[in-house]
Amino acid sequence: MEIEIFPKRLLSASRVEKILNSIISLGMAKNIILHGPKLPKYVVVPSREHLTGIRVETGHEDLKRIRFGDKEVELTVKVGRIIIQPIEGIDLNVFSEKLREICNELLPFGFDIRMGQFTKTRPTISDSIREYIKQ
């Protein structure tokens, strides 16, 4: 069973950093997945000088390294959902209540918290095809 935090706005990198640090400080999360639309670093745009266009940086402010706990990770998405896989044996109701307190403080524009299965539990046909291609 997983817990999903679904804020009513897409989050900035600094807010994601604060939320992650708060979640990790609870000591109940095994894995955290950050989900959202991809932020490309470069884009090819038309150019009068170059027929095939030129590569420019998009300049997204949220494309940066964020630090939480003792880890640092390069954010590549505009975070829209945070999916948390809790450590086995944790009381999910207690965990989600603590998450609700964190979200009440850090997400003033509103949020929803759901419990359920949000990730695949076993490989599917497309995973098998990817493995085959890698070989």
Contact residues toward other proteins (CB under 8 A) are 7-12, 15, 37-40, 43, 45-47, 56, 58-61, 78, 80, 109
Least spacing, CB of residue 54 vs other proteins, in Å: 8
Q: Which is nearer to other proteins, 24 or 63 (CB)?
A: 63
Q: Which residue, 58 or 128, is less far from other proteins as judged by CB?
A: 58
**Residue from 32, 41, 38 nearest 79 by CA:** 38
Per DSSP, the three-state class of 89 is coil
Burial of 87 (0-12, 13-18, 19+ CB in 10 A): exposed
Q: Least distance in Å: CB of 12 to other proteins?
A: 5
If we measure between CA atoms, which residue out of 7, 19, 11, 21 comes closest to residue 71?
A: 21
Residue whose CB is less far from other proteins, 49 or 70 = 49
CB of 9 or CB of 30, closer to other proteins: 9
Considering the complex, what minimum distance in angstroms separates the CB of residue 62 from other proteins?
9
> Exposure string (b/e) for 13-43, b if CB count within 10 Å is 16 or more?
bebbbbbbebbeebebbeebebebeebeeee
Q: How far is the CB of 16 from other proteins (least distance, A)?
A: 11
